[in-house]
């Protein structure tokens, strides 16, 4: 996973709440067996007409936002399906960070596993950034994960909160599986302590609920 | 002194492999379910890193999302990319020794339908799947949640997930569900009240008189849709209803192991005095059939109401959301829900594609013909559900009424297979998501219970099924 330390980029506003993963990557594009090739289909129903031509009313098709790397959006971003294809599509398009008041749980985890930074900001901050991005594109922000700040070099400079472990993983681009496998002994001990039959015999233990 | 615990805490605590200060908990997974769409990249990741599947014996796969629902095409898929994804799953399962309930095996079906019906899902377990509606399995008192593909790979490699402990919420349901309503209406009502993010970060336990009175299938419908209010999982404490459902299922513990299992499962229920981070009570006795009018499952109204408008919004952003939804759905504020005319009806999905759901729809349809403008698809949740329904003759009730009786799969719940709507077509659907484009680009979805869907199929528009005249 690519580490995330600091990033400066153009902000694109999505003035919507509850942007679900069915919008981020519609189902007709989920049939690939690779992790790549999803960027072209990011927000495809919003981005293209049914004949495949671009819709000029969609923000990411407009001149100043085409190379945006930061999205600002309404609450509960990423709700709905667990499809990690949403995170892959965003990353492949070039999005490095999202700023919104809140996110859905599974999307938050998927983003973290793909080096995509989710910043949970107060509604007023989100509105302010969205308004700036709308009013004077290309509006750029600098996100410094090390110091947990977002700044526009023009009056906006705010600290954001992020769980320390999430921050640590992003900063170092750590592979979660590799980390867990260092605990092989604990996993093996757990399996041995808690007796389990094979499924063909019917499960047995499954927990020593106390 | 023993601290009273919730059902969720009991299951969580008994699966903790490792707890580290400031880091997520390493949680052991008892059952990992796999399907064709969210798994290929996980297997590929394992191969690239030279890793193997740790517990193929705790992993089970099926094919559901892509599969066509006509009897010949399901064995000869025309969509080459879908066919390749399915072939990849077969290869990955064979390579890793993972049992696959393949098409035509008699056990294939939607992953959240077959887990319970095979007895794989059991109380007290931790269950994951690369699918958000994994919350369904919580109906058995299991802790079950959806994960992304990186996590699927993590579970394949380690049989664990790395998770921050969610908070807990209890939704107590008092009263009993009135005739003509179902647990689908109840969960839609809950989602409307909580909002689509009201459960975020929480595991919900459904409790109270009304829940104890529900069948397993009705409980599954509720837990299934917990994700639609943002919850990590939904749970119901196991009881006699749970045990009776599981008894004798192919993977349920046999003989002596069964009695031991019951003894382990009984104490899972939440202790008296246990603490919940949130505790809500809802009275079910005045529940009406619910219909969604918008583009998320929280945008709904009782069937007797009218479509709301921007004036009903609490703030600017809700106002915008209502306007966008009305525009997409082609609806005017103030329209009576019962006056909304339909082109399609879909009965199926992991929410309402089980035998009882089909019975409930068939009971309404018996002796009637579907409206001549409406195309009706009935898609059983699994091969076993299909066979059971045919043994009872439900298939002939559907076909005599003019509905299409299809082969099992996710079908029009998400339209990854050929079953999709044309733009602007309007569908009453027993599934769980009415997002833009869910059933096809530009398609308009209204979520309802199986009984309401069946009544709408006959009338050509929504009708209050509480006044239905059932025919013999
Ligand atoms: S029926 Fe629908 S919600 Fe359920 S697993 Fe299939 S696609 Fe997902």
Which of A147, A13, A150 has the alpha carbon at shortest distance from A74?
A13
Please tell me if residue A15 touches chain B, with a CB cutoff of 8 Å: yes
Helices and strands (H and E) in chain B: how many: 16, 19
> Residue A209 pLDDT more than 50?
no
Quickly state the pLDDT bin for A200 (edges 50, 70, 90): very low
> Residue B121 pLDDT more than 50?
yes
* pLDDT tens digit sequence for B170-204: 999 999 999 999 999 999 999 999 999 999 999 99
**How far is CA B260 from its chain centroid?**
30
Instruction: Tell which wins on pLDDT, A1 or A135.
Output: A135
Atom of ligand 1 nearest to the CA of B416: 7
Q: How far is B368 from chain A (nearest CA, A)?
A: 35
Percent of chain A with pLDDT over 90: 88
Name the packing angle between helices B450-459 and B355-365 (round to 10°).
30
How far apart are alpha carbons B171 and B207 in whole angstroms? 6
Give the pLDDT confidence score for residue B271 in this predicted structure. Answer: 97
CA-to-CA separations, B232 to B65, B199, B247, B302, B410, in angstroms, rounded: 22, 8, 28, 26, 22
Report the separation in Å between the CA atom of B215 and the middle of ligand 1, taken as the mean of its atom positions. 21
Give the pLDDT confidence score for residue A204 in this predicted structure. Answer: 43
Give the pLDDT confidence score for residue B254 in this predicted structure. Answer: 87
DSSP class of residue A110 equals H
Mean pLDDT of B130-156: 98
Please tell me if residue B252 touches chain A, with a CB cutoff of 8 Å: yes
Strands (E), B2-142: 16-18, 25-28, 31-34, 59-62, 100-101, 126-129
Q: How many CB atoms lie within 10 A of CB A67?
A: 12
> Residue A194 pLDDT more than 80?
no
- Residue of the CA atom closest to atom 6 of ligand 1: B410
> Residue A205 pLDDT more than 90?
no
Is A118 strand, coil or helix? strand
> Residue A197 pLDDT more than 50?
no
Please, what are the domains in chain A?
A: 6-197 (3.20.19.10)
Report the separation in Å between the CA atom of B187 and the middle of ligand 1, taken as the mean of its atom positions. 17
Cβ-defined contact of B254 to A23 (cutoff 8 Å): no
* pLDDT tens digit sequence for B290-328: 999 999 999 999 999 999 999 999 988 899 999 999 999
Give the pLDDT confidence score for residue B56 in this predicted structure. Answer: 95
Among the partner-chain residues B41, B153, B196, the one whose CB lies closest to the CB of A34 is: B41
* pLDDT tens digit sequence for B231-288: 999 999 999 999 999 999 999 998 888 998 999 999 999 999 999 999 999 999 999 9
ipTM score of the complex? 0.93
* pLDDT tens digit sequence for B410-450: 999 998 888 999 999 999 999 999 999 999 999 999 999 99
- The dihedrals phi and psi of B390, each to the nearest 5 degrees, come to -70, -35
DSSP class of residue A54 equals B
Give the pLDDT confidence score for residue A207 in this predicted structure. Answer: 37
Size of interface A-B (CB pairs under 8 A): 222
Strands (E), B147-198: 160-163, 167-174
> Residue B219 pLDDT more than 70?
yes
Q: How far is A179 from chain B (nearest CA, A)?
A: 10
Cβ-defined contact of A31 to B438 (cutoff 8 Å): no
How far apart are alpha carbons B293 and B369 in whole angstroms? 25
A140-176 exposure pattern, b = at least 16 Cβ within 10 A, e = fewer: bbebebeeeebbbeeeeeeebeeeebbbebbeeeebb
Q: What percent of chain A is helix, strand and coil (3-state, nearest 5)? A: 35, 20, 45
* pLDDT tens digit sequence for B79-88: 999 999 999 9
Mean pLDDT of A1-20: 95
Please, what are the domains in chain B?
A: 7-164 (3.30.499.10), 167-239+269-283 (3.40.1060.10), 290-467 (3.30.499.10)
Give the pLDDT confidence score for residue A196 in this predicted structure. Answer: 54
Mean pLDDT of B1-11: 93
Quickly state the pLDDT bin for A195 (edges 50, 70, 90): low
Instruction: Please tell me the pTM assigned to this model.
Output: 0.95
């Amino acid at each position: 996973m690519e580490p995330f330390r600091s990033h400066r980029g153009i902000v694109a506003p999505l003035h919507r709440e509850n942007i679900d993963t069915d919008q981020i990557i519609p189902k007709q594009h989920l049939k690939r067996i690779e992790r790549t090739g999803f960027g072209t289909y990011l927000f495809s129903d919003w981005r293209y007409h049914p004949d495949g031509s671009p819709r000029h009313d969609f923000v990411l098709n407009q001149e100043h936002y085409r190379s945006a790397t930061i999205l600002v959006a309404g609450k509960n971003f990423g709700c709905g399906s667990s499809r990690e294809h949403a995170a892959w599509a965003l990353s492949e398009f070039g999005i490095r960070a999202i700023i919104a008041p809140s996110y859905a749980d599974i999307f938050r985890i998927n983003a973290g596993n793909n080096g995509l930074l989710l910043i949970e900001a107060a509604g007023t901050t989100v509105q302010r950034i969205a308004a700036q991005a709308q009013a004077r594109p290309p509006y750029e922000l600098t996100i410094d994960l090390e110091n947990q700040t977002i700044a526009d070099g023009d009056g906006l400079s705010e600290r954001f909160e992020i769980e320390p472990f999430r921050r640590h993983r992003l900063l170092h681009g750590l592979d979660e599986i590799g980390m867990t496998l260092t605990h092989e002994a604990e996993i093996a001990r757990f399996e041995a302590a808690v007796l389990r039959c094979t499924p063909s015999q019917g499960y047995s233990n499954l927990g020593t609920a106390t | 002194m023993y601290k009273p615990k919730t059902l969720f805490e009991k299951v969580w605590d008994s699966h903790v492999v490792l707890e580290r200060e400031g880091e997520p908990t390493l949680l052991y997974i008892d059952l990992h379910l796999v399907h064709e769409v969210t798994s290929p990249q996980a297997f590929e990741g394992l191969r690239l890193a030279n890793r193997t599947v740790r517990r193929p014996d705790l992993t089970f796969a099926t094919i559901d999302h892509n599969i066509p629902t006509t009897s010949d095409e399901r064995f000869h898929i025309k969509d080459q990319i879908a066919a390749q994804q399915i072939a990849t799953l077969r290869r990955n399962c064979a390579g890793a020794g993972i049992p696959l309930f393949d098409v035509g095996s008699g056990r294939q079906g939607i992953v959240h339908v077959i887990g319970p019906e095979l007895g794989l899902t059991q109380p007290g377990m931790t269950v994951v799947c690369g699918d958000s509606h994994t919350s369904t399995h919580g109906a058995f008192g299991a802790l079950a949640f959806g994960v992304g593909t990186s996590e699927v790979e993590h579970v394949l490699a380690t049989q664990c997930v790395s998770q921050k402990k969610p908070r807990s919420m209890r939704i107590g349901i008092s009263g009993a569900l009135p005739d003509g309503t179902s647990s689908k209406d109840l969960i839609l009502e809950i989602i409307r009240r909580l909002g689509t993010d009201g459960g975020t970060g929480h595991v919900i336990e459904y409790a109270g008189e009304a829940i104890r009175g529900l069948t397993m299938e009705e409980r599954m419908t509720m837990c299934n849709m917990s994700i639609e209010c943002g919850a990590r999982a939904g749970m119901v404490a196991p009881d006699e209803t749970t045990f009776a459902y599981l008894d004798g299922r192919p993977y349920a513990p046999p003989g002596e192991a069964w009695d031991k299992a019951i003894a382990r499962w009984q104490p899972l229920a939440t202790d008296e005095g246990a603490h919940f981070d949130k505790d809500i009570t809802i009275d079910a006795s005045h529940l009406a059939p619910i219909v969604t009018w918008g583009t998320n499952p929280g945008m709904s109204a009782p069937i007797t109401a009218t479509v709301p408008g921007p004036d009903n919004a609490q703030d600017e952003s809700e106002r915008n959301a209502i306007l966008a939804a009305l525009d997409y759905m082609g609806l005017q504020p103030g329209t009576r829900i019962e006056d909304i005319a339909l082109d399609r009806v879909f009965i199926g999905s992991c929410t309402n594609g089980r035998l009882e759901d089909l019975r409930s729809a068939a009971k309404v349809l018996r002796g009637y013909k579907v409206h001549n403008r409406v195309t009706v698809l009935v898609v059983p949740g699994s091969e076993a559900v299909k066979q059971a329904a045919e043994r009872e003759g439900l298939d002939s009730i559907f076909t005599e009424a003019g509905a299409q009786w299809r082969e099992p799969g996710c079908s029009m719940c998400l339209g990854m297979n050929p079953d999709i709507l044309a733009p602007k077509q309007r569908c009453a659907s027993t599934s769980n998501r009415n997002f833009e484009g869910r059933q096809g680009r530009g398609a308009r979805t209204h979520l309802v219970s199986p009984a309401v869907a069946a009544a709408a199929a006959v009338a050509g528009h929504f009708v209050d099924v509480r006044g239905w005249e059932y025919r013999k």
